[in-house]
Structure 1
Amino acid sequence: MMPVGALAMTCAFGFALVAGCVDARTPDAHSRAVALVAKMTLPEKVAQMQNDAPAIPRLGVPAYDWWSEGLHGIARNGYATVFPQAIGLAASWDTSLLHAVGTVISTEARAKFNASGSGHAHGLFQGLTLWSPNINIFRDPRWGRGQETYGEDPYLTGQLAVAFVRGIQGDDPQHPRAIATPKHFVAHSGPEAGRDSFDVDVSPHDLEDTYLPAFRTAVVDGHAGSVMCAYNALHGTPACANAGLLDTRLRKDWGFAGYVVSDCDAVGDIASYHYFKPDDVQASVAAVQAGTDLDCGHTYASLAQAVRQGDIAESALDTALVRLFTARYRLGELGGRSDDPYARIGADQIDSPAHRKLALQAALESLVLLKNAHGTLPLHAGMRLAVIGPDADALETLEANYHGTARHPVTPLQGLRARFGADHVAYAQGAPIALGVSIPVPETALRTDGGAVGLTGAYYDNLDFSGTPKLTRTDRVIDFDWDRVAPAVGLDPDHYAVRWSGQLLPPGLGDYVLAVHVDRCFDCSGHDPVRLYVDGKPVIADHSDASDLKVQLHFADSHPHTLRLELVHSGQDQGVRLQWQAPPAAQLAAAERVLHDADAVVAFIGLSPDVEGEQLRIDVPGFDGGDRTDIGLPAPQRALLERARASGKPLIVVLLSGSAVALDWAQQHADAILAAWYPGQAGGTAIAQVLAGDYNPGGRLPVTFYRSTRDLPPYVSYAMQGRTYRYFDGRPLYPFGYGLSYTRFTYAAPTLSTATLKAGGTLQVSAEVRNAGQRAGDEVVQVYLDTPPSPLAPRHALVGFRRIHLAAGEQRLVRFTLAPRQLSSVDAAGARAVEPGQYRVFIGAGQPGHAAGVAAHFSIDGREALAP
């Protein structure tokens, strides 16, 4: 068998390592790149190794910014199909879905790219090099960016990554639809507060067993064309200057022949935060020599000085540049291709009906039913529902982070009204996400001067509110994402002003904080000024770059107060939200009023991207800079649930979050619990369909839900002992792989291809799965392996899974092939091998001991060492 490293000689760029693949350099991309780089001057070369590469007119090279995002939809570039956040996609356990989502994302990237055309300049977020997926292991639920990952298991993460990468890149290795960039290589999963300087000290076993496998799978099996190196150091060496990672492991061991891009400003961190090198010149030299081809940032500007003073050979720059321009030629980004198969992808493909349908399917498949006592769900037709909770009607909990702009988003409140009838749904916000956290002012507190719900919005096509508004409409809430889009037809997306007017109806007396949140543009000059007037007096007037502008007011009663909010959009800021912090007693009283006449209560609780995410400016109890210090449900929401339970009405809890929340009280007292993650543009519709029984939930947890923060090892430790289902010895609240259904599945005894396997061989495993219930549904068949006892062995290891749909009474034979790598173990030195001994394989609806399933035993004779 050809070693993995030798495959690069057969097919460059990390694509199509399959039989019959020709040398990827012969079809011209590589040779054209070599010829082009040879014509460049040193300053031109240096400029092209930074993400915002400028044009070189004399060589016919257009400007190109390599930075584009596609985590769960094309991000930060206007309208796009917004799918569930990555952790929600992972909860589907559906590789075919991930492939389809990746295909849509790259199709919409092409549509946006084609608007300018090949051979023309493409700026920030307008390109075809997508910095996704994030395949770091979600090792600890406190990490704020864990929502961007596919969960805690290396096998599940790797398989979903392969499907997503192949969907992004398409089927033509010589001309990918876009290029995927698995990130962040490697061992990067917090802490956010110190990520620029954090040194991961992890054992060789844990590195090979947990942190590296998904990256290997994405490169070797998924053929990803790019990889992003991480902020952190590994054993004292910053990842982007780590030749052992980028050259030995990635290129030599895995045969990767694409390009490596740094995380943004990670090259600068080598000197500024890690102090690994004394200055930017030496940091840049170390990164290039290690194998980092492209700097997201401008630290590589110092490479010209490095070459001139003899610190690095110009040929080292040429090596990186050839990789970069090979990618640009393959993408067709430089033009000159008459047979471009993607040229006809137009704007009609952006958020098309087919793509919207897939967004709904993805949202449906992501939902995980955690509890359903006494058949509380599905809800019955005609029921009167009290909808409460801070996540019931918030756009940001649909879109999550790294998102595009949803054209027609449906919040849970809107979804329930559409499904059950507006006259059957009463609503009260009830609580904030957490004390000190502002959330959108709800529709219940806004009225136009004519008495309609919401505020009157006057939209102008100028910046001074002169003349007649271009459009006047009633906006139910002020919670808008307008990133690179116009707020209404006929307005210029870069040049407009809006004045909202009406009344604020406080639910009770007390101290209120009113806030105007503006999503400020990244790295741009000038920001949108906002002005807020209450009772005719200006209370906020700000032109600064602060995202949250606040004022504290005291209302002595619940009488209406006149309200006016003005936004002047003259820059690149991305939308506006009118928010508040209301008195807890007033909020709870408002919730209690809607509980009175309800037949059931649906509480939308959890977290939001305002409290968990990437380096957030937040410091309130339970949260720290985007990470969490406590995984429990914040106290104000716990109080809201207790008040709802006291009503005596059935209580359905819907959790919206990007990570596991310790729902210990809800598990004991709620009648049903549904995990909905951050579900994307169709989230409200999907939730309503599941609650109504129109769709039978089949999602499974991609992470462990622990009972308490006390169950977790120290957050800064990257040791896997005591973490994730593989090494946690305690009793979880909900285990990895868990999820309920409205039907019931049974398993027949499994069949193995052999009871004794020679090391290095493959094992065939199969079992009959039957839907023994009364309605159709999806089952996620999971295969776990228990290896011979060893101090380093995981409790169980996922080695196979498949999501299948079965009609009531239907049964199907499900087969799995376990290759040597799936049957292997890792020793203390980080060496992987198939070891002799007695093994057990379990097939079922979840982990052994936590779900129905069947097991069989087999043995392995001999030992087979595997390549890294």
Structure 2
Amino acid sequence: MKKVLFSLSIFICAFSSAQTFKYPFQNPKLPVEKRIENLLELLTVDEKIGMMMDQSKAVPRLEIPAYGWWNEALHGVARAGTATVFPQAIGMAATWDVAEHLKTFEMISDEARAKYNKYFDESNKTGRYEGLTFWTPNINIFRDPRWGRGQETYGEDPFLTSVLGVAAVKGLQGNDSKYFKTHACAKHFAVHSGPEWNRHSYNAEISKRDLYETYLPAFKALVLEGNVREVMCAYNAFDGQPCCANNTLLTEILRGKWNYNGMVVSDCWALADFYQKQYHGTHPDEKSTAADALKHSTDLECGDTYNNLNKSLASGLITEKDLDVSMRRILKGWFELGMLDPKSSVHWNAIPYSVVDSDEHKKQALTMAQKSIVLMKNEKNVLPLNKNIKKIAVVGPNADDGLMQLGNYNGTPSSIVTILDGIKAKLPNSEIIYEKGTEVADPSSKSSLYQNFISQKNGEKGMKVEFFNNIEFKGKSANISVNKSGINYNSFGGTQLAPNVGRENTSAIISGIFKSTYTGDVILSPSTSDVYTLFVDGKEIATRKGPDARHPSEFSVKMEKGKEYNIELRHSQKGKYVSITFDVYRKDPVNFVAVKEKVKDADVIIFAGGLSPSLEGEEMLVNAEGFKGGDKTSIDLPKVQRDLLAELRKTGKPVVFVLCTGSSLGLEQDEKNYDALLNAWYGGQSGGTAVADVLAGDYNPSGKLPLTFYKNLAQLDNNLSKTSKHQGFENYDMVGRTYRYMTEKPLYAFGHGLSYSKFNYGDAKLNKNTISTTENLTITIPVKNTSKRDGEEVVEVYVKRNKDASAPVKTLRAFERVFIKAGETKNVELTVSNDSFKFYDEKVDDLASKTGNYTIFYGGTSDESGLKSIPLKVN
């Protein structure tokens, strides 16, 4: 038997070595560089250009499939069907847990590979949101709480952002010596953090010190430590040049000083801003734009301006050699991901689809949600709640909103536990009273009117839904039904919209007769993933022209009581992912007194409020007071919630504010109206369970703030740099911003977070009181849990350069999350890198080591009143 097996193994080896390939680039045993050069020789100019955009065109004669480069995995695989949804990035930053962050992204990349394998096996190609190249993480600095996309970042600190960003990259890209698991992407390079409304025309101007000490460190870390394989250039301009054709950022720093050899990809349709006069308007036309971006090493475009590279060539603006420089980096991506190799040769391809939404991943989503929660205030130890509590009132717009918990750039979980769900499950013996009370920012309450529809004259209750297996509403209907409960269809989980309806390239006509029960405004609210038109009595009142179009979510129509109206929503979808919802409702003023009366007998009131990704996010059309374009113009809690909180306070009962948000709020004026403040961020699919675990004391909170909570907007704006030509939110100078440059005491400091345990910091010891600029520093900090409860503490170390007025007040340079049993003392040893003593130096136009006297701060917050200090000399 052994002889037979031995002979068989010889045969297999001989067969493998004798395996022939039509072209050398197809041979996975050849060096990657040789494969790239062979493929470059074979490709025509048109074929090269076709592969330089996110929707990469197939080259059938060379067996190269079509490929979609654009994919997202901010906190779980996004926009590609069912996936585990972890807390929003800002929430994961609040965990300050590098090991768990890495583990989370290893799980995300497992789901990513499994999905790619499935999609490619089904069609021998991949479309948008189906590939292995993920435009994650967002490592921009959250410099101003008004930025709507700050929720996608790891907060305001360059060091915390760097450490978590590198962990995300390593988790996504894997640790294989030959093949990357997926590609990660550092975005948006580099001076980019709002406003959303003018990002296509804004020109950022900052000092070199701010550039090198604040805006670049995280990108540098991802390039040099994380080996990130893609970098995305931003929409805005920097020093007069659009970021995707910027000498300083791309040529001098990224490709020059850092010697980056990976791909640069443009933000989506950012190149179109170059030649449009209402935006940057820095270039005369498409061909000059394409040429300039290419010469500045933007290799791959998300968009279609690179379709003009043939014109750039014909005009002599570029040569084919210029194309080849970028193509080498693009093709390297194909080979290092194994996308042109036999499937069996890439071990990542063996990851089974069963990992998607697996029990292990669901458990991790809960773990990260628990760790992300920050207990910001707990007067009179209101929390944890007594589990024998008789009556609990749960109030607020975020209490039963699962979609809010998903944040933005999110996937679709198989289930969501809302805060209300979590409390009911955790405390089954308590009476739970639920009152939504108000919308997030709308000073009125919504009452659904869907029940007023009939499908047709003398028809059934509900709306008629007619699907077609084409995008033109033509031919025989694929499915006709009447939906009595409400319009909510989606195929993101890979399911059909309805029996006999295809999974892509469909259209639908949703219609009904609406009979108004009152005279006044009726709100029609359609939402679809592609193109739609809304008609009332045959008149078009709203249209959306594409998947990336920004549009209002509500349309008000004046109607008369007793009158009937023909409503029709026409939807068409070119891709395979379809989402169609349609709501109809009335708005009435919030009756605060009525809400108070309903909950006044409760033993405790849980108010779940804050913000929502429907208000803050990327380039949105939002009409609510205090919001603009996805950003905030005010950092106050929306007025309707402030008023409701004040009314709830009049009950005299303890009020616990569960804050759901992607950014910090100026809550000073509201502090008197709640006893405890629990920041739950956008907690992902298990956010509600995590909140209930903390409220009930089954999980001891341990999260820390990754950003500053200012008292109010005036506290921020009054301290900003006065030298910038831009004011307020548009001022990119760091003076007066974040804990690093703020001299006043905020409402809640960066790094702040309470626990049900109590920790006492002893006197730390340095391994040396004087070090050289090339040495790392070791600090040992004794931390004692003085309570009767086990808990986790995040030990934080900050560095201050003395007698340097332009240096930060202090900067985070080391941290570690540690578990400490009740009564136990742990000696926590942390390393402060010698890079911590580098600051901008004009002579070298970069960071350089600075000798002199320093102060090392340590504790569980950045607030100096809660820190201890020890001097250090650097020679």
TM-score range, shorter-chain basis? 0.7 to 0.9
Partner amino acid, structure 2, of 1:30: E
Alignment of 1:24-173 (within 5 A): 28-117=31-120, 120-173=124-177
Partner amino acid, structure 1, of 2:249: L
Counterpart CA distance in 2 for 1:828 and 1:709 is 33
Residue 732 in structure 1 maps to residue 738 in structure 2: no
Per the TM alignment, residue 749 of structure 1 is displaced from its structure 2 partner at its CA by: 1.3
Partner amino acid, structure 2, of 1:111: A
Match of 1:180 among 164, 184, 188: 184
Residue 839 in structure 1 maps to residue 851 in structure 2: no
Partner amino acid, structure 2, of 1:369: L
Per the TM alignment, residue 34 of structure 1 is displaced from its structure 2 partner at its CA by: 1.9
Per the TM alignment, residue 147 of structure 1 is displaced from its structure 2 partner at its CA by: 0.7
| Map of 1:348 onto structure 2 | 354
Secondary structure of the residue that 1:274 maps to in structure 2? coil
Secondary structure of the residue that 2:101 maps to in structure 1? helix
Whether the 8 Å contact between 1:67 and 1:127 is mirrored in structure 2 is: yes
Which string of whole-angstrom CA distances, capped at 9 and with x for unpartnered residues, describes residues 561-588 of structure 1?
Answer: 99999977752542426365632244x2
Residue 332 in structure 1 maps to residue 346 in structure 2: no
Per the TM alignment, residue 95 of structure 1 is displaced from its structure 2 partner at its CA by: 0.9
Counterpart CA distance in 2 for 1:500 and 1:362 is 43
TM-aligned CA distance change 1:338 to 1:633, over 3 Å:
same
Which string of whole-angstrom CA distances, capped at 9 and with x for unpartnered residues, describes residues 597-630 of structure 1?
Answer: 3111111111111111111112332111111111
| Map of 1:797 onto structure 2 | 811
Match of 1:209 among 187, 209, 213: 213
TM-aligned CA distance change 1:801 to 1:540, over 3 Å:
farther
Per the TM alignment, residue 276 of structure 1 is displaced from its structure 2 partner at its CA by: 2.3
Counterpart CA distance in 1 for 2:106 and 2:482 is 37
Question: Normalised by the size of structure 1, how large is the TM-score?
Answer: 0.87
Per the TM alignment, residue 489 of structure 1 is displaced from its structure 2 partner at its CA by: 9.2
Per the TM alignment, residue 547 of structure 1 is displaced from its structure 2 partner at its CA by: 5.6
Counterpart CA distance in 1 for 2:107 and 2:417 is 20
Which string of whole-angstrom CA distances, capped at 9 and with x for unpartnered residues, describes residues 123-164 of structure 1?
Answer: 011110000100000000001111111000000000000000
Whether the 8 Å contact between 1:78 and 1:482 is mirrored in structure 2 is: yes
Counterpart CA distance in 1 for 2:731 and 2:68 is 36
Question: Normalised by the size of structure 2, how large is the TM-score?
Answer: 0.86
Per the TM alignment, residue 503 of structure 1 is displaced from its structure 2 partner at its CA by: 12
Counterpart CA distance in 2 for 1:79 and 1:474 is 23
User: Greater shift after overlay, 235-244 or 678-687?
Assistant: 235-244
Residue 415 in structure 1 maps to residue 429 in structure 2: no
| Map of 1:366 onto structure 2 | 372
Alignment of 1:414-453 (within 5 A): 414-421=421-428, 424-435=431-442
Alignment of 1:603-752 (within 5 A): 603-712=607-716, 713=720, 714-752=728-766
Residue 518 in structure 1 maps to residue 533 in structure 2: no
Counterpart CA distance in 1 for 2:259 and 2:392 is 57
| Map of 2:410 onto structure 1 | 403
Whether the 8 Å contact between 2:599 and 2:605 is mirrored in structure 1 is: yes
TM-aligned CA distance change 1:790 to 1:63, over 3 Å:
same
| Map of 1:551 onto structure 2 | 556
Counterpart CA distance in 1 for 2:674 and 2:768 is 47
Secondary structure of the residue that 2:793 maps to in structure 1? strand
Partner amino acid, structure 2, of 1:44: E
| Map of 1:866 onto structure 2 | none
TM-aligned CA distance change 1:793 to 1:504, over 3 Å:
farther
Per the TM alignment, residue 771 of structure 1 is displaced from its structure 2 partner at its CA by: 1.6
Partner amino acid, structure 1, of 2:755: S
| Map of 1:754 onto structure 2 | 768
Counterpart CA distance in 2 for 1:498 and 1:596 is 47
Whether the 8 Å contact between 1:456 and 1:501 is mirrored in structure 2 is: no
Per the TM alignment, residue 347 of structure 1 is displaced from its structure 2 partner at its CA by: 2.2
Secondary structure of the residue that 1:194 maps to in structure 2? coil
| Map of 1:21 onto structure 2 | none
Counterpart CA distance in 1 for 2:658 and 2:619 is 27
| Map of 2:299 onto structure 1 | 293
| Map of 2:9 onto structure 1 | none
| Map of 2:589 onto structure 1 | 584
Which string of whole-angstrom CA distances, capped at 9 and with x for unpartnered residues, describes residues 400-445 of structure 1?
Answer: 1111112101111121122223862111111222237x987589x9
| Map of 1:857 onto structure 2 | 871
Which string of whole-angstrom CA distances, capped at 9 and with x for unpartnered residues, describes residues 52-76 of structure 1?
Answer: 1110101111001111111111111
| Map of 1:809 onto structure 2 | 823
User: Greater shift after overlay, 325-334 or 663-672?
Assistant: 663-672
What stretches of structure 1 of length at least 5 have no aligned partner? 1-24, 450-454, 862-868
Partner amino acid, structure 2, of 1:428: E
User: Greater shift after overlay, 267-276 or 415-424?
Assistant: 415-424
Per the TM alignment, residue 456 of structure 1 is displaced from its structure 2 partner at its CA by: 9.5
| Map of 1:768 onto structure 2 | 782
Per the TM alignment, residue 199 of structure 1 is displaced from its structure 2 partner at its CA by: 0.7
User: Greater shift after overlay, 544-553 or 116-125?
Assistant: 544-553
Which string of whole-angstrom CA distances, capped at 9 and with x for unpartnered residues, describes residues 447-492 of structure 1?
Answer: 999xxxxx998998956999999998978xx777754544889785
Match of 1:598 among 583, 602, 606: 602
TM-aligned CA distance change 1:692 to 1:531, over 3 Å:
farther
Counterpart CA distance in 1 for 2:637 and 2:363 is 33
Secondary structure of the residue that 1:582 maps to in structure 2? strand
User: Greater shift after overlay, 759-768 or 247-256?
Assistant: 247-256
Match of 1:574 among 579, 586, 591: 579
TM-aligned CA distance change 1:858 to 1:548, over 3 Å:
closer
Which string of whole-angstrom CA distances, capped at 9 and with x for unpartnered residues, describes residues 658-697 of structure 1?
Answer: 1001111332231100111111111111111111111011
Partner amino acid, structure 2, of 1:306: S
Partner amino acid, structure 1, of 2:375: L
Per the TM alignment, residue 334 of structure 1 is displaced from its structure 2 partner at its CA by: 2.1
Per the TM alignment, residue 213 of structure 1 is displaced from its structure 2 partner at its CA by: 0.3
Partner amino acid, structure 1, of 2:309: L
Partner amino acid, structure 2, of 1:730: E
Equivalenced residue count is 812
Whether the 8 Å contact between 1:839 and 1:859 is mirrored in structure 2 is: yes
Per the TM alignment, residue 227 of structure 1 is displaced from its structure 2 partner at its CA by: 0.4
Counterpart CA distance in 1 for 2:788 and 2:364 is 27
Alignment of 1:219-234 (within 5 A): 219-234=223-238
Counterpart CA distance in 2 for 1:790 and 1:541 is 60
User: Greater shift after overlay, 486-495 or 365-374?
Assistant: 486-495
| Map of 1:16 onto structure 2 | none
Alignment of 1:526-537 (within 5 A): 526-527=531-532
Counterpart CA distance in 1 for 2:794 and 2:60 is 54
Residue 321 in structure 1 maps to residue 327 in structure 2: yes
Whether the 8 Å contact between 2:488 and 2:579 is mirrored in structure 1 is: no
TM-aligned CA distance change 1:577 to 1:738, over 3 Å:
farther
Whether the 8 Å contact between 1:439 and 1:580 is mirrored in structure 2 is: no
| Map of 1:377 onto structure 2 | 383
Pairwise CA RMSD = 3.4
Counterpart CA distance in 1 for 2:689 and 2:451 is 24
Counterpart CA distance in 2 for 1:822 and 1:561 is 71
TM-aligned CA distance change 1:563 to 1:307, over 3 Å:
closer
Whether the 8 Å contact between 1:542 and 1:549 is mirrored in structure 2 is: no
Whether the 8 Å contact between 2:766 and 2:777 is mirrored in structure 1 is: yes
Q: Percent identity?
A: 37
Which string of whole-angstrom CA distances, capped at 9 and with x for unpartnered residues, describes residues 486-519 of structure 1?
Answer: 488978555697999999999xx99665332414
Secondary structure of the residue that 1:687 maps to in structure 2? helix
